[in-house]
Structure 1
Amino acid sequence: MYYYTPDQTTDLLTRSLRYLRVDQTDHVLTLTLNRPEKKNALNPPLLAELAFALSYARHTGDVWVVVLAAAGDVFCAGMDLKALASGDTEPLNVPEPAGPVRIGELMAGLHKPCIVQIQGPVYAGGFLLVGGAAYAVAADTATFSLPEVKRGLFPFQVLAVLLDLMPARKALDLCLRGKTLNASEAMATGLLTHVVASDEVGNTVAELVQELKQVSPTALRFGLAAYQSLKNTPPDQQQAFLHDQFTQIQQTADAREGMAAFLEKRSPNWQNQ
């Protein structure tokens, strides 16, 4: 599900947001959670701003890669339970989203590479951002915790994301015991793709961004969309579906440019078409 139409999100770069910093440079949209005084807990206004910005990223051809970072010492404390319990009515700085914002669906529907840049602890619903991205780069000092069962709750949506990344028993164990993982342990489970020294996180993300910008953004978009579609495609129909996807991508301008560049022994000039 996507929460905003292309027409609704065209003014993202000039709109004043309360809890999200936005920068778009050279095909890269960087979104920074900016509620450090609340450990970047996801209250309704921040959820709406995330949905607005990620909808813009999906709809905008000039965005090839998304980087999701956070201000302060904590990457994300998960859902803002106090705001949800009190029925927080803080006004939104974006239009009302088309339905309750479900981060798992939001990340899955992006269909563009997303890199999360993790500088500090991740709790609870913050796992949805980490697990839903294509790449998760964490400082070796970061920690990861699902404390919901200690609050009489259960991380239902996080469990679904974890089952895409790790064996079922490992995913269940993380949810059932609510234990805290260090960065190395989180890497071993499959939650992270990179663990580096704290002062190297930004450089590692920048290197990944540069690598992703060298390949066809059309191919990446087709591939990520197919990956999500496969989850709902019966096994006996998957090869037919993928064959059809390959037929379609061959007709794109980027595929023609990629083949021409290969034969002419030059670098391709991607048009994202």
Structure 2
Amino acid sequence: MLYTAEQADSLPAGGFRYLLTSLNDHVFAITLNRPQKKNALHPSMLTELAFALAYAHYKSDVWLVVLAAEGDTFCAGMDLKSLSQGDGENTTVPAPTGPVRLGELMTELHKPCIARVQGPVYAGGFLLVGGSTYVVASEVATFSLPEVKRGLFPFQVLAVLLEIMSARTALDLCLRAQTLTANDAKAVGLVTHVVPVGELDNAVADLVAELKRYSPTAMQFGLRAFQQLKSLPSSEQQAFLYEQFQQLQQTPDAKEGMAAFLEKRLPKWG
């Protein structure tokens, strides 16, 4: 994380400049709010995203994250002009301790993240979608990596795609800059749910309600272990997972879950 727990203990008093946030019944909503620029990511917005994700990571009251966007475009990718020239703005949050790399920020969240995709996703926007646990997309949403048309290549996106789909499919998306429909994106694993435009909010709400029935601690342990497994040799993975299970058994959620099972009642988490 680019912020400590102390730094990210509270959100900026005056709010973010390029994000809208809310915390309601353990669900932290982060909404990209630069619609006039199609939610293109520039340095100030990236810094705010890093801070908001750190807040969600550290706050025990946050069980789930919903990532959404204002306007007709989910995210147009990186704002290349601002990234090359800087935006010269005073940030609403402290400076991060290092460069903001969205792919890393998403994997460090360790809490279920639902991307609510209402419109097109381009280029670096794939890092937000690919890094989410679930992607609920409107049937009119589209997905495209146009970097090669500009003499560039989506290097960081490629790394995210390789965890979701076959290498040939990921490379083809990067090399031919084709536009995927929402159903195409679901077929290759980039999207998890495709719904009609008018059902997008209900679909997200239904998924949130389902996830909230289960142990937030167990899900956080599992998501963290999933990321940690990637750096462990296969000979050490089972011992690591056994230790994780032993630790999880000692948590209040595990004890509550077992008690509820034996008493034939619904568990009360947190």
TM-score class normalised by the smaller sequence? over 0.9
Q: Which runs of 4+ in 1 moved over 4 A?
A: none
Q: Aligned with 1:214: secondary structure? A: coil
What is the identity, as a one-letter code, of the residue corresponding to 1:146?
L
Report the equivalent of 1:74.
Answer: 73
| 1:233 to 2:232 alignment | yes
The one-character-per-residue Cα deviations of 1:84-122 (angstroms, maximum 9, x if unpaired) are 122222221111011110000000000000000000000
Greater Cα shift, 223-232 or 83-92: 83-92
Identical residues among aligned pairs (%): 65
Provide the C-alpha distance between the structure 1 equivalents of 2:258 and 2:97, rounded to a whole number of angstroms: 41
Distance 1:96 1:236, change over 3 A: same
What is the identity, as a one-letter code, of the residue corresponding to 1:217?
P
Report the equivalent of 1:142.
Answer: 141
The 5 A counterparts of 1:146-165 are: 146-165=145-164
Report the equivalent of 1:249.
Answer: 248
What is the identity, as a one-letter code, of the residue corresponding to 2:263?
E
Report the equivalent of 2:204.
Answer: 205
What is the identity, as a one-letter code, of the residue corresponding to 2:13?
T
Report the equivalent of 1:4.
Answer: 3
Q: Aligned with 2:15: secondary structure? A: coil
Deviation, structure 1 residue 229 = 0.6
Deviation, structure 1 residue 13 = 6.3
What is the identity, as a one-letter code, of the residue corresponding to 1:180?
T
Provide the C-alpha distance between the structure 1 equivalents of 2:153 and 2:234, rounded to a whole number of angstroms: 31
Deviation, structure 1 residue 154 = 0.5
Q: Is the 8 A contact 1:13 1:23 kept in 2?
A: no
Q: Aligned with 1:222: secondary structure? A: helix
Report the equivalent of 1:129.
Answer: 128
Report the equivalent of 2:18.
Answer: 19
Q: Is the 8 A contact 2:44 2:87 kept in 1?
A: no
Provide the C-alpha distance between the structure 2 equivalents of 1:7 and 1:33, rounded to a whole number of angstroms: 24
Gap runs ≥5 in structure 2: none
Q: Aligned with 1:92: secondary structure? A: coil
The one-character-per-residue Cα deviations of 1:54-113 (angstroms, maximum 9, x if unpaired) are 000000000000000000000000011010122222221111011110000000000000
What is the identity, as a one-letter code, of the residue corresponding to 1:117?
R
Report the equivalent of 2:180.
Answer: 181
Normalising by structure 2, we get a TM-score of 0.98
Report the equivalent of 1:97.
Answer: 96
Q: Is the 8 A contact 1:13 1:22 kept in 2?
A: no
Provide the C-alpha distance between the structure 2 equivalents of 1:29 and 1:52, rounded to a whole number of angstroms: 13
Provide the C-alpha distance between the structure 1 equivalents of 2:115 and 2:14, rounded to a whole number of angstroms: 23
Q: Aligned with 1:219: secondary structure? A: helix
Gap runs ≥5 in structure 1: none
Deviation, structure 1 residue 11 = 2.3
- RMSD over equivalenced CA pairs, Å: 0.8
Q: How many residues align?
A: 270
